[in-house]
C-alpha cells in the first residue's frame, strides 16, 4: 500500500511540524509513505473565491502527481474535502478524477483505514476540540450538530487513545470560526467577530490547547488569540497523536 | 474590495452589544429547532421525503398548477394568473376597486413584499394594515422585515414600547411583552372590524383539493378572513404540492424548522369563499418559471420559507437582515437575489464562509451553500468579481503552478516575520484587522524533507 503524503501549501510554510507529525505517525503505523516534492496547492483558495479557472491547472497537476498512489493522505480536512468533492466539477472530465476517490484526511485515514487499537504517548493536558466546518459537514469526521444522526467523533475517538488527555468541546460545538479562505479578508469584520466568539467558547472550556484537524481554522484562531494576548495554545490533532513517537 | 454587505456588516458590528444580542437570540431559535428535530427519530427521512416531493412537483409544475386551479375553481374560488409583480399588483387592485375596498387587512406574505404591493396600493388611496404583530410594528416604524419568519427580530422590546406609546397610547416606559401584546391586540381589533377585505399569503396550495394552507401563530389570518367577505390569496407558483398526504410531511417540518414549535398555532385550510363572499387566488410567477428550467439552481424553488438557514448562518446572525441588499436576507436570500438579478445583488455573495450549516438545517435539503459557491464562479461573467480577489487568485496560481518558484517563496517567506509592524499591519492588510499574521516557520516542510528525512524526521 503506497501512500502519497500531501502537505498543503500553508501547512508547508507555517506549520511544517504538522507535516512531520503526519509522516512520523504514518511511518510508525508501518505504512509506505512518499512525499512527491513537486506538489504545491490543491487550488481551494482560488475556487472558493470564485476562480475555479485558476484552480484547474493546479487540480490537473495534483491529479498527475498523486494518482499513482493507493491513498493520498493530508493533514487538512478542508483541502481533502476540496479534492474529494470539488475536483469533479473543477476538472469537468468525463472520467472522475482518481484523486477524489483516494484522498483522506489523516485523522479519517487512521480512524477508518488503519484502525490502530492503541497509540503510544502521553499528553497530560486539557484540550478543546475544534470541529471544522469542512471536517464535520463535508468529511463527516464527527456528527454534524444540525443532523438527527447517532453522535460520534472520529477525532475524539483517536485522541482518547492518548494517555492523560482530557477532552472538551466548546459551546456551539461546530459553528464556523470565520476563516473561510478569502472570506476572512473580504468580510473582515464578520470574520473577526466569528473568530473572537469561537475563541471565547474554546477558552471557556478551561482547556490549555485548542486542537483540530484543520490547521487553517487553527491559524485563524491563533491570529485572534495573539492579538488578544490570550495564553491558549494551538496544536494539530496529529501532533498529539504523534506525541509519543 | 469591500462589498456592500461587508460595509453594512461593519456598521452592524460596531454596536457589539446589539450584535451579540441579535446573534444569541437567533441562536436560541436554532437550538429550539435542534430540540424539535432531535425528538423525531425519522427527521432525516422526513427531510428526504420533503425534498423528493418538491423535486417531483417542480418537475411537473405545470400539471399540478392546472390541477390546483381547476380544483380551486370547482370549489368556487376565482383564480388569476400574474406573470410578474406589476400584473400581480394590478390584479389585486382591480379586485379591491370592484369591491370599493377602502381598507385592506393583511396577514404576513413575503410574496407581497417581493411585489412591493403595499406602496402600490397606498399610492392608489387604499389603506393597508399589516396584522402580523412583527409586520405591524415595522409598518408603523416605516421599516422592512429583517427576517422572513420573525420580521422584527432585530427590534428590542423597549423600542416597541416607545413606538406603542407614540402610536397606541400605551403606558409610558412599559415594555412588558404581555402588556404590549394586549395593547396591540386591542388596537388591531379595531382594524379587523373596519377592514373591507383580507389578504393572506399561502404556505401551500394543494393540487388535489384546490385549497390554500396558511400557517400563522397569531390567528391574524383567520381573524381577517372570517370578518371580511372578500379574501385575496397571493401565492407563488412554487407553493403548489400534490395532495394532503404530502402536506403532512411539510407541516411536520415547517414550524419545527422555523421556530422550534411542533406546529404553528394555526394551520388554516381555505377551500372556498365564506357564504356570500368571494375568494380570489392570484398565482404569481415573477421569474420563478425561469428558475424551474435552470438545472443548477432549480432547488431554490423547493424552499418553504422557514428561515432556518438564517438562524443558523453565522454571518447572518452577526450582520443582521439589513446588511443584505436583497429584501430576503441570509443564505436563501443571497441565492434568490442572484436569481432575480445577478448584477444588482452580487454584493451579498461575500456573506458566506461556506460553512455548509444551512444545507444541513434546510428541511427540504436545498443545497444553499453549493449554490453560493457556483454563483461565485460566475461573477466574472457579469464583471462583478472583486479585482483584488482575482489578482490574488492569479498570483497564487502563478506561484503554485511553478514548483521551483513555490520552493523559493517558501524559503524567503520567513522574512515577513521580521518586517517592521507598520509595513505589515496597515489598511491594505484586511487580515491584520483584529488578527495577528501567522508566523512562517524558519524551515518549511519542503526544506526539511529535502535535507533528508533521516536527519530531520526520523530522529
pLDDT band at B459 (very low <50, low <70, confident <90, very high): very low
Share of chain B above pLDDT 70, in %: 98
Sheet holding B278-284, edge to edge: B78-82, B278-284, B230-236, B197-200, B103-106, B127-130
Whether residues B149 and B64 fall in one domain? yes
Same domain, B22 and B136: no
- Contact with chain B for residue A160, Cβ under 8 A: no
Mean pLDDT per block of 10 residues along chain A (245 residues) reads 95 95 96 95 90 91 96 97 94 85 98 96 97 98 98 98 98 97 94 98 98 96 97 98 95
Span B305-312, average pLDDT: 98
Verify that B413 and B429 share a domain, yes or no: yes
Nearest by CB to A223, which of B399, B435, B458?
B435
The residue among B395 and B53 whose pLDDT is bigger is B53
Q: Do B380 and B391 belong to one domain?
A: no
Contact: B396, A7; criterion CB under 8 Å: no
Structural domain including B335 reads 1-36+307-385
Q: How confident is the model at residue B1 (pLDDT cuts 50, 70, 90)?
A: low
Measure B281 CA to nearest chain A CA, in Å: 36
User: Over the stretch A160-178, which tens digit does the pLDDT of each residue have?
Assistant: 999 999 999 999 999 999 9
With contact defined as beta carbons under 8 Å apart, do B199 and B92 qualify? yes
Stronger pLDDT, B283 or B389, i.e. the higher one: B283
Same domain, B354 and B313: yes
Q: What are the E-state strand segments in B368-433?
A: none
Residue environment code for A59-95, b if the CB has 16+ CB neighbours within 10 A, otherwise e: bbbbbebbeebebbbbbbbbbbbbbbebbbebbeeee
Handedness of CA A181, A186, A187, A193 (dihedral sign): positive
**Is B279 in the same domain as B148?**
yes
Pairing verdict, β B240-241 and A2-5: unpaired
When divided into structural domains, chain B yields a total of 3
- Angstrom CA distances, A56 to A47, A91, A170, B394, stand at 9, 6, 37, 12
Q: Where residue B115 sits, what CATH number does that domain have? A: 3.40.50.10420
Same domain, B381 and B417: no
Residue A150 contacts B, CB cutoff 8 Å = no
Give the residue among A5, A4, A12, A36 at the shortest CA–CA distance from A215: A12
Residue B386 pLDDT greater than 90, yes or no: no
Confidence of residue B458 (pLDDT cuts 50, 70, 90): very low
Cell output for B75: 370549489
B301 located within any domain: no
- What integer pLDDT is reported at residue B455 of this predicted model? 43
Query: How many percent of chain B have pLDDT more than 90?
Result: 83
How many A-B residue pairs are in contact by the CB < 8 A criterion?
Answer: 221
User: Nearest chain A Cα to B392, which residue?
Assistant: A46
Q: Based on the domain organization, do B219 and B106 belong to the same domain?
A: yes
Please give the grid coordinates belonging to residue A54. 485558476
Cβ distance of B445 and A16 shorter than 8 Å: yes
Query: What is A2-114's CATH topology?
Result: Rossmann fold (3.40.50)
Residue B321 within a domain: yes
Give yes or no: residues B312 and B444 share one domain: no
Asked, for residue B168, whether it belongs to a domain, the answer is: no
Query: Would the CB atoms of B6 and A188 count as touching at under 8 Å?
Result: yes
Residue B176 lies in a domain: no
* Residues of B whose CB is below 8 A from A229: none
Instruction: Look at residue B164 and tell me if it is in a domain.
Output: no
Give the pLDDT band of residue B424 (cuts 50, 70, 90).
confident
pLDDT in tens, B331-374: 999 999 999 999 999 999 999 999 999 999 999 999 999 999 99
The answer to whether residues B145 and B224 belong to one domain is: yes
pLDDT at B456: 45
User: What integer best gives the mean pLDDT of chain B?
Assistant: 94
Instruction: Judge whether B12 lies within some domain.
Output: yes
Residue B234 within a domain: yes
Express each pLDDT in B240-273 by its tens digit.
Answer: 999 999 999 999 999 999 999 999 999 999 999 9
pLDDT at B28 over 80: yes
Cα B326 to the center of its chain, rounded Å: 9
Q: What is the pLDDT of residues B84-122, one digit of tens each?
A: 999 999 999 999 999 999 999 999 999 999 999 999 999
How do the domains of chain A map onto residue ranges?
2-114, 126-241
Amino acid at each position: 500500500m503506497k501512500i502519497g503524503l500531501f502537505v498543503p501549501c500553508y501547512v508547508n510554510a507555517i506549520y511544517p511540524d504538522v507535516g512531520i507529525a503526519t509522516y512520523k505517525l504514518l511511518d510508525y503505523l508501518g505504512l509506505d509513505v512518499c512525499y512527491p516534492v513537486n506538489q504545491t496547492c490543491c487550488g481551494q483558495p482560488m475556487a472558493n473565491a470564485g476562480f475555479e479557472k485558476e484552480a484547474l491547472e493546479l487540480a490537473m497537476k495534483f491529479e498527475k502527481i498523486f494518482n499513482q498512489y493507493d491513498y493520498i493522505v493530508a493533514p487538512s480536512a478542508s483541502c481533502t474535502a476540496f479534492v474529494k468533492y470539488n475536483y469533479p466539477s473543477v476538472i469537468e472530465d468525463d472520467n472522475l478524477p482518481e484523486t477524489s476517490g483516494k484522498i483522506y484526511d489523516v485523522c479519517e485515514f487512521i480512524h477508518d483505514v488503519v484502525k490502530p487499537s492503541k497509540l503510544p504517548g502521553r499528553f497530560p493536558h486539557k484540550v478543546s476540540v475544534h470541529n471544522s466546518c469542512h471536517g464535520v459537514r463535508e468529511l463527516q469526521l464527527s456528527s454534524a450538530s444540525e443532523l438527527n444522526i447517532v453522535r460520534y467523533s472520529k477525532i475524539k475517538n483517536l485522541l482518547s487513545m492518548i494517555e492523560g488527555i482530557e477532552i472538551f468541546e466548546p459551546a456551539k460545538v461546530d459553528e464556523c470560526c470565520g476563516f473561510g479562505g478569502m472570506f476572512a479578508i473580504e468580510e473582515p469584520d464578520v470574520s473577526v467577530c466569528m473568530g473572537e466568539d469561537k475563541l471565547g467558547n474554546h477558552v471557556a472550556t478551561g482547556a490549555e490547547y485548542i486542537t483540530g484537524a484543520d490547521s487553517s481554522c487553527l491559524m485563524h484562531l491563533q491570529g485572534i488569540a495573539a492579538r488578544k494576548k490570550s495564553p491558549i495554545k494551538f496544536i494539530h490533532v496529529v501532533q498529539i497523536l504523534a506525541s509519543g513517537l | 474590495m469591500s462589498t456592500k454587505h461587508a460595509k453594512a456588516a461593519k456598521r452592524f458590528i460596531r454596536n457589539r452589544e446589539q450584535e451579540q444580542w441579535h446573534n444569541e437570540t437567533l441562536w436560541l431559535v436554532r437550538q429550539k429547532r435542534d430540540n424539535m428535530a432531535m425528538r423525531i427519530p425519522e427527521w432525516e427521512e422526513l427531510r428526504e421525503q420533503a425534498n423528493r416531493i418538491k423535486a417531483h412537483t417542480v418537475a411537473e409544475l405545470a400539471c399540478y398548477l392546472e390541477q390546483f386551479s381547476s380544483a380551486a375553481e370547482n370549489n368556487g374560488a376565482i383564480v388569476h394568473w400574474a406573470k410578474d409583480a406589476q400584473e400581480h399588483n394590478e390584479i389585486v387592485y382591480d379586485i379591491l376597486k370592484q369591491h370599493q375596498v377602502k381598507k385592506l387587512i393583511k396577514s404576513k406574505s413575503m410574496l407581497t413584499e417581493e411585489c412591493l404591493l403595499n406602496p402600490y396600493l397606498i399610492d392608489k388611496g387604499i389603506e393597508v394594515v399589516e396584522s402580523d404583530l412583527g409586520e405591524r410594528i415595522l409598518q408603523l416604524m416605516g421599516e422592512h422585515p429583517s427576517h422572513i419568519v420573525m420580521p422584527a427580530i432585530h427590534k428590542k422590546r423597549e423600542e416597541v414600547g416607545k413606538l406603542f406609546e407614540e402610536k397606541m397610547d400605551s403606558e409610558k416606559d412599559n415594555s412588558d411583552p404581555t402588556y404590549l401584546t394586549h395593547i396591540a391586540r386591542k388596537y388591531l381589533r379595531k382594524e379587523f372590524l373596519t377592514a373591507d377585505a383580507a389578504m393572506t399569503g399561502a404556505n401551500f396550495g394543494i393540487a388535489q383539493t384546490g385549497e390554500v394552507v396558511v400557517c400563522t401563530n397569531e390567528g391574524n389570518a383567520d381573524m381577517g378572513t372570517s370578518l371580511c367577505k372578500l379574501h385575496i390569496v397571493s401565492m407563488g407558483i412554487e407553493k403548489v404540492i400534490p395532495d394532503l398526504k404530502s402536506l403532512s410531511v411539510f407541516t411536520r417540518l415547517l414550524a419545527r424548522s422555523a421556530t422550534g414549535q411542533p406546529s404553528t398555532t394555526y394551520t388554516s385550510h381555505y377551500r372556498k369563499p365564506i357564504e356570500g363572499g368571494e375568494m380570489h387566488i392570484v398565482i404569481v410567477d415573477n421569474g420563478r418559471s425561469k428558475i424551474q428550467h435552470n438545472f443548477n439552481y432549480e432547488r431554490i424553488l423547493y424552499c418553504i420559507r422557514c428561515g432556518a438557514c438564517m438562524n443558523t448562518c453565522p454571518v447572518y446572525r452577526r450582520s443582521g437582515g439589513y446588511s443584505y441588499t436583497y429584501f430576503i436576507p441570509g443564505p436563501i436570500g443571497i441565492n434568490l437575489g442572484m436569481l432575480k438579478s445577478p448584477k444588482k445583488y452580487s454584493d451579498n455573495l461575500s456573506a458566506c464562509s461556506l460553512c455548509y450549516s444551512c444545507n444541513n438545517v434546510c428541511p427540504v435539503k436545498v443545497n444553499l451553500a453549493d449554490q453560493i459557491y457556483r454563483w461565485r464562479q460566475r461573477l466574472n461573467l457579469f464583471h462583478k468579481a472583486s479585482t483584488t480577489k482575482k489578482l490574488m487568485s492569479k498570483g497564487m496560481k502563478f506561484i503554485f503552478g511553478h514548483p521551483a518558484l513555490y520552493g523559493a517563496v517558501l524559503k524567503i517567506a520567513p522574512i515577513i516575520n521580521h518586517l517592521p509592524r507598520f509595513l505589515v499591519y496597515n489598511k491594505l492588510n484586511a487580515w491584520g484587522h483584529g488578527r495577528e499574521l501567522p508566523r512562517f516557520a524558519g524551515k518549511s516542510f519542503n526544506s526539511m524533507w529535502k535535507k533528508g528525512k533521516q536527519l530531520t524526521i526520523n530522529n
